[in-house]
Amino acid sequence: MEESGNKHQKSWALLTAASYNYVVEFLQPKLKPSELKILLLIIRKTIGWRQMEAWISPSKMIEGTGCGKVSISKAMERLCVMQHIEIRADDKHWDALTKYGIKLGRLNAPKKRKVYGWLYKKEAKSYYSVHPAFTQKISQWINKNKSRGDEDEK
């Protein structure tokens, strides 16, 4: 039983390290500084803490990145389009949001986040996660580097 838990911890550690390495090696040259800071913050708050998603308040986003509100909003939109992150509303608000064309609580566009904030004021909580496509790229990158490491050992 303990061995299984240890294996699980190692896989999270590998995913965390691989995520940072992938971002630095491949994405950093393509991302604006604000996008890079936000992506690293979301990786830290989710994968780094072994969570699938995390609620990050606007003030914590500003504090954690050093970026302004407008810069953060534009960066989040671009990261969503590039399928690096996902943003969703609190589950309890999904039904009402459907009336406004916001399906499955997806808040990937700034206008949707604005509507959500306007409707629910202080109750509005946005949850952030790395996009499944991003996680898949990390897994492929890990496997590619594993096979390269296996060849080096021969």
Task: Write out pLDDT tens, residues 18-35.
Answer: 899 999 989 999 999 999
CB-hemisphere CA count at 13 Å for 149?
6
Radius of gyration, CA atoms only, the chain: 17
Domain ranges for the chain: 2-153
CA distances from 79 to 88, 116, 133, 141, 147 (A): 14, 19, 12, 19, 29
> What angle do the packed helices 110-120 and 69-81 form, to 10 degrees?
120
Which ranges of the chain have pLDDT less than 50?
A: 1-2, 151-154
67, 58 Cβ separation under 8 angstroms = no
pLDDT at position 123: 87
